[in-house]
Structures are given as structure tokens and as C-alpha cells.
Amino acid sequence: MTPRPESSGSHPEQPAEQRRTEPPTAARKKAAVKKTAAQKPAAASPAAKAVAKKAASTKAEAPKKAAAEKTTAGKKAVAKKAVTKKAAAEKAVTKKAVTKAVAKKAAADKAVTKKAVAKKAAVKKTAAKKAPAEKSVVSEALAHEGAGHEAVAGKAAAPRTAVGDTVREPAVPSGSAAEQPGPLEMEIAVSPAVDAADRERLLNGTHHSPHSVLGAHPVPGGVVFRAFRPYARAVTVASGGLTVELHDDGDGFFSGLLPLSEVPAYRLLVTYEETVQETEDAYRFLPTLGELDLHLIGEGRHEELWTVLGAHPMTHQGVTGTRFSVWAPNARGVRVAGTFNFWDATGYPMRSLGGTGIWELFVPGIGEGELYKFEITRPDGSKTMRADPMARRTEVPPATSSVITSSHYEWGDAQWLERRAEAPAHQAPFSVYEVHLPSWRPGLTYRQLAEQLPAYVKDLGFTHVELMPVAEHPFGGSWGYQVTGFYAPTARLGTPDDFRYLVDALHQAGIGVLMDWVPAHFPRDEWALAEFDGRPLYEHEDPLRAAHPDWGTLEFDFGRREVRNFLVANALYWCEEFHIDGLRVDAVASMLYLDYSREPGQWTPNEHGGRENLDAVAFLQEMNATVYRRVPGVVTIAEESTAWDGVTRATHHKGPSGFGGLGFGLKWNMGWMHDSLQYMSHDPIHRRYHHHEMTFSMVYAYSENYVLPISHDEVVHGKRSLVSKMPGDWWQQRASLRAYLAYMWAHPGKQLLFMGQEFAQGAEWSEAHGPDWWLLDPHYGAEADHRGVRDLVRDLNTVYRHTPALWRCDTEPSGFRWVTGEAAEDNVVAFLRYDDDGSPLLAVSHFAPVVRPEYRIGVPDDVPAWHEVVNTDAGRYGGSDVTHPDPVKPEPQGCHGYPASIRLTLPPLSTVWLRPA
């Protein structure tokens, strides 16, 4: 196997010589250094003679250099020890000396060490005096190996004293390594080879501390170099213009002991079958995570978790590369695999950083665009290849690899961010267009959508868009609600920076961006979060608590601090890194109740004997409090379908249930949606019997801060599109839809409408082809019918934004007053909305397909005249054009409990808005 040259990463400014060096040419000849394990005091080393002989034949000036070095050899108390790698002379090593050294080691270890330290001090002193005359202490020591051995005469060497049998001419430009090696050690007391236990653990991927074994380490007698490079034919240490080949220990292990006093700056030359790579040694670097980061992770309080976990291109200790880090506390070992090592993780073991469960590795020379995964050895010894839970970019599904990335985007929405915190969402205009990005205009990328979506939404007058989940998900049919890449925008539409471009474009068009966020559950894909490190980790350890009964997914373990940290940081990540203005939190009800969709016996009560999931409550409170504290102007919205007390109450305020509020800014009003659509689905002749379905919402309208949602869930799976829910013929269906939309926009609460419903699409939505845009084609015969509904939506938004009575006091009872909620026989609903200064708007909805002339409506007596601002029956919307072009003056005749009244001709199936003239 021949690995390719390593990537230069994301730092093109790095000098070329630090990224890659040309392979040594055949002209460079080796100077063999052969040496026995023990030497006689007065005899010169045969290896040293071989060095001198071969060096003389390499270059013309070599004899002069050798002679000069020989003259000064006696003055230097330095030594260089090397062992032969392949030559037949290695068999002649004196077995007696080796045996003697091994036998003495256990009994005389302390004495040998003390003597080595004493001689080391003497060597350093002598070497320091002679330093000006030295060109390279390593090269001189190798050239004068015989003289050096006189200084340690009579001492038995370790069984393996050095690496390899070659000394090379410089193979890298001068200065490619930062420093020259230090003075030489005099005592060799250890073997450089990886011991059997460490070797086995490294081969099996179960080593917790590979950096303690691999790399360069000071030992008695010098500095030991160890490399683990599967498939390599040779590994050479390059330092200060000198290259020394390490000994091949088999199975991809290479080692050697150089007689140095300290670890030098060095690089590795790795020889494969057809190439030679020059690279930094990944196992010479300190950890990239600091103590504070690890402490916060351990506490579950690292609010910027995405900055320390995952894959991050960076410069570490002056070297460019990528830091990999992952939480896997149950793993016996973790290794990283990717395109940079041909998906063979063997030679890339990560280290465990204490009790936090974090594994880390800095890999030099690789950068953006590389694919990667983590190979995890489970507690049972089996292995699994997993995508990075913190990956900020992924491959395009169905591919599942993570991608190294960094953001280079420059935002242009500073003015938007400054303004968005001026008023809380519940006291500001807030009408939302819900979008499924992959199908809104099928085939468009994020950047192409940025050219069309902001203009379309701005033209219709919506204040916000809500994006169905954009986090990466493997199955498109889930619409994004089964997430595997919680920190990565889906790669189906482009890169993370492309998604930033879309958000920026919407902001510059004056449109806020909400995003569906799914912290309730995740799918069981074997390459993702499920039993990530061989045991339940992100999911609850109790199978009954972990399995979601409705969707076949797994629920998060909200009681585990690291899992809460993962999710809280994720909420912040989207708001801070992508400038998202709000998070609509999906499936909150399924999180809050232990018995959600479970039968008796399938769930266990909480510590108080109740059905509330106390862990989920604490998580939601922490998430909301953290988001509102860190990101001013952002709103969180709960999709909560029950009557849980205090969803939008502050977390520090307790309610009747004894719980503090969940801390959301807004809540979807699922009750209003269900009741009102049920009413509209009845034939008008039967609506009188269901009148309460349109009025009951005002009983609880101020219990929470509500959004009125007509979402994607209401127009799929056989529920029919919004216009198709309406009874009657095509004219009546469109008229009922227009009347319903105007009623919705006037009702207390914010509005949300799913794409396609704004132009009365007749078919259910399908993620495969999206909205039926062809209905708006001028060549289509019924185009005017669909365009009329869209024109009404535009006008509703325009009037809504310019009428504070419709949004200023949405959450205050003083902002609403019934005119009549009991006219069931007439199918009429009428009410007043008020601004905080008392300015009113009158909304009258008539849900019968007949004209009611001179219908009397009670009004306050302090308004001299009323002017019609919206009439859904107007001809331009496709109605019968029964309108009131002139101001309507009240009469002193009381009605509906008011001192005055006006007479209106109520159009069929319509809603009329009037403001003071």
C-alpha cells in the first residue's frame, strides 16, 4: 500500500519545505554504522571505520572532514551508538556481552544510573567548552564512534543501542528543523523498541496513551525515537541537517536511541514503496485542549463545546494541521481514519485526556476538505467506525463521513443583529413563512436559494422564515427530523458557509430566520450516535426510557450532564455561528412526559411518583436560560401539544404545579390549530353546531405566548392541503380559505403558514417535488384564482405590520375584546384588537355562504367612523366584491353590549377588517 503525500491543509502560506520534501536521490549513499553490544576499551568501532570509509567515497571534501574530525576526536567525550539493521555482521554481536548486560540490569540498575548521570554531567561540561568547534554534535559523534566508546569502556550496552545502520547526507534544506540536536548522552540503559504490551495495544487500537510510547522521549543514555507507520519500508529522523534511519522492528514499528541530552526539533522521512513523505511526527505534540476546557466538559458546562470537540484546522506549536477530539468514555481505544490515511486508522491512535472521556490527536499537515471518521474499540473489543458527533460539515448523503472544515465567511448583517433585540418577539410583528429548503425550489443550492427566497418572502411581507430542520440527516423522507449531524447544515444544498450566505441574504432583506431544532431524539444508524462507544451514551441506559415509541428512534439521556452540554451548546452554536434568530424546538411534549405514547408498565414514575420527566424539564430550562443570556434578540419556540403549565413562563417563576417555567419565548397553539381547522372542515350549514370550536381558544389565549401554526404537519399524510380542507365547490373553498387566513391574522398570537398554502395549492405537499409553482403560471387557466389568494396574504401582512393593535398586546388581555362570540346561528365571529394606546381594529368573520345585508355590529362610541382596510371578498382576491369603499359611521343604537353600532353588509365566506377612519 502506498499512501499519497499528506495534505498541505488549509494554510497555503506554510513554507514548502515544512510541508513536503523531495525524496532522497539514489546518489545519496548510506554510511553504514555497525557496532557490537559491547566494545573493548582501546579498540575502535568497526561501524565507525565503516562510516569513515563510506563517507570518504561520497564527496570530495569528505576525507578532509574525516581527518579533521579524527584529530579532535580524542578531545571530545561524546559518543554515538547505533545498531545494525540488516547486515550480516549483526549476527556477530557478542552474545556474552549482551547476556551480561541484561543480567546485571535488575541488580545494578541504580548504580548504573548514578554513574550515567555523573558521566553525563562531565560530558555536557566538556561538550560545552568545545561547542564553537562543532558543526554537528550528532554527525561528529557518529564519525568518532570509536573514540566515543573509549569514554564508556568496560560498560555493557543495552541489547538494542540505536536504530538502524545508516547515516545519511542531509536530505532536507538547512533550517527545515528548528534546532540542532543537543549534547550527547554517555550511558545507554534502555531498549528503544516498543515493549510487547504497548505494541499489542497499539496494534489492537486499545492504547490510552500512545504519546507516552511513540514520538521522542529522553531516557537514560539519550533520546529514544519511536514511530508507528504501517506499510512503511523505512522511517528516518531528520534534524538539523542530519538524517538517521530508525530500526525496523516489524509490524510498522520503527525505533532508535540517539545519544542526545534533550529532544531536538525533528521531522520524519517515511519511505513507502513508491514515495518518501517528509512530515511532522504527530506524537511529539502536547495536548491541544487546556485544563479549563476539560474541567468545563467534565462539569457539562462548556457553552462553546463546538470550539474544542470535533475536527479543527489549526496551528499548534508552530505547525499547521488538524486537531481531532471526541467524547467516548466507554471506549477501550479510539483512532482516526480518513482520506489522509486511506481509511486505515491503525497508525493514528488518539490519547485519552483523563477522566473526562475525551480522546485527542493533533495530526500535522492535513486540513480542510479531508474526510474522516473515528474508529472506536468497544468494551467488548469489537470495533465500530463512527461519524463525528461534533462534525461541522458532512458528506452529501447517503455518504456518511465527516469533513474537516473552517468558516471563512464575512457577515454583512451587522445592522440586523443590532436591531433584532429592540423588542421581544411577543411584542413585535411576527408572521412566519415555513419552508422546507430542499423542496421549496427543488435542485437549488443554498446560494441559489439566497437569490430567490429573500425576494419572495419580502414581497409577501412575512417578517420571518422558519426553516424545517437543516441539520444533517440521512433520510430525506424524515424532512430533517431524524438528525445525525447536529452541528452540520445538510450538505445536500452546499457547504456551511453557503448556508451562512443564505441567512445573511435573508437578514439583509429584513427577514428573520427561525430554525426547527430537534433535541428530543435521534435515529439508530450504526455509524451515528446510537451506542456510540459500545454502550448507551447519548441515549438513556434504560431501554424503556431510550426507545421512542412512535418513531423508532432513541431519546436523549437528559439526565447526563455531558449530553445536556452537547445539546445546550448545539442551540448556541446555531444562534452564534449561523446568526439564527430563533429555534422552534420540536416534539417538546414527548420530552416532558415519561409516559408519552407508553402503556402502563412501559414507563417508570419519577422520584416523586409523577409522570413528568424531571431531567428533560431541567434541560429545557437550562437551554432557554443560556440562549437568552448569551444571544440577545433570539427567541425560542416550543412545539408543545399539551397543557403543560408555564411553557413560556420564566424559569425562576414557579407555577401551580410547583415547577419553574420552561423559559420559552413562544409556544405553538396546537389547540387553536386543531379546533379552528375542525370548524372550517364542516359544511357551513353545520357550523352553527360547532361554533365553540372557533371561540374556545380565547378561554386560554393568555395562558402562554402563542404562535398560531398552519404548518407542514397539517398538509401531509392524507390531511389534504389547506384549501382542500374547505367544503363546497372551488369558489367556496377559496372563499373559506381567504376568510380563515384573515381571521387567523387578526386572532391574538403570531402567525405561521407553510409554503404553498399562500397560493391555495390543491395537492398535499410532497418533499419530492415541493409546491406546485405551475399554478401561478399566467398560461394556466385558473392562475388568477391562486394569485388572488397570494395577493390577499401579501395585503394581510402589510396591514398587520402597520397596525400595532394586531401585535403589540398579543399576550395581554387588554389587547382583545369580544364584540360577539355567540352568533352561532349566523356563523359570525367579531372582536376588537387594541394597541397599548387604545387604538382599535375591528375584525368580523362570516363563515356562511350567503350575503347578510345591514348586519348590526356593536362598537365603542368614541370612534367617529370606521374604514375598511381588508375585505377577503374583494374582486382582486377572487371574491364576489361585496365591499365597503366608504367610511362606515356608527349609530347611537347599542348592540352586543356596546353603546353604539355599525351596519355592515357581510359578504359570503369572508373576513372584514376595519380601523378608525
Q: Is 395 an annotated catalytic residue?
A: no
**Integer Cα distance of 24 and 30 in angstroms:** 11
Q: Please state, as a whole number, how many other Cβ atoms lie within 10 Å of the Cβ of residue 762.
A: 16
Report helix, strand and coil shares of the chain as percent, to nearest 5. Answer: 30, 20, 45
Query: What phi and psi, each to the nearest 5 degrees, are found at residue 818?
Result: -65, 140
Long-range contacts, stretch 340-346, CB < 8 angstroms, 24+ apart: 340/6, 340/7, 340/366, 340/370, 340/372, 341/3, 342/1, 342/3, 342/4, 344/1, 344/230, 344/231, 345/205, 345/375, 346/203, 346/205, 346/228, 346/230, 346/252
Q: Which of 278, 557, 639, 714 is catalytic?
A: 639
Using alpha carbons only, give the angle 5, 10, 12 rounded to the nearest 5 degrees: 80
Long-range contacts, stretch 452-456, CB < 8 angstroms, 24+ apart: 453/502, 453/505, 453/506, 454/505, 454/506, 454/508, 454/509, 454/511, 455/509
**Integer Cα distance of 61 and 893 in angstroms:** 121
Nearest to 821 by CA among 678, 711, 679: 679
Q: Which three cell numbers stand for residue 384?
A: 465500530
Nearest to 362 by CA among 328, 312, 291: 312
Reply yes or no: is the peptide bond before residue 438 cis, omega within 30 of 0. no
**Integer Cα distance of 431 and 464 in angstroms:** 6
Q: Which of 586, 612, 714, 810 is catalytic?
A: 586
- For residue 715, what are the CA distances in angstroms to 127, 433, 590, 767, 796? 84, 14, 22, 12, 22
**Integer Cα distance of 751 and 54 in angstroms:** 86
Contact 408, 392 (CB under 8 A): no
Name 255's bridge partners: 226, 247
**Integer Cα distance of 619 and 636 in angstroms:** 14
Helices (H), 231-326: 291-299
Contact 568, 623 (CB under 8 A): yes
H or E stretch at 584: strand 582-585
Using alpha carbons only, give the angle 605, 611, 614 rounded to the nearest 5 degrees: 90
Query: What phi and psi, each to the nearest 5 degrees, are found at residue 323?
Result: -90, 130
Q: How many CA atoms lie within 13 A of 767 on its CB side?
A: 15
Contact 218, 181 (CB under 8 A): no
Reported in sequence order, the residue ranges of 367-447 that DSSP labels E, i.e. its strands, are 371-377, 383-386, 402-403, 431-435
**Integer Cα distance of 374 and 336 in angstroms:** 5
Q: Is 251 an annotated catalytic residue?
A: no
Nearest to 439 by CA among 670, 768, 78, 148: 768
Q: Please state, as a whole number, how many other Cβ atoms lie within 10 Å of the Cβ of residue 370.
A: 23
Nearest to 165 by CA among 46, 25, 279, 339: 46
**Integer Cα distance of 707 and 463 in angstroms:** 14
Q: Which three cell numbers stand for residue 618?
A: 431541567
Using alpha carbons only, give the angle 762, 767, 770 rounded to the nearest 5 degrees: 50
**Integer Cα distance of 39 and 46 in angstroms:** 10
**Integer Cα distance of 230 and 203 in angstroms:** 10
| Terminal-to-terminal C-alpha distance of the chain | 84
Instruction: List residues with catalytic annotation.
Output: 586, 639
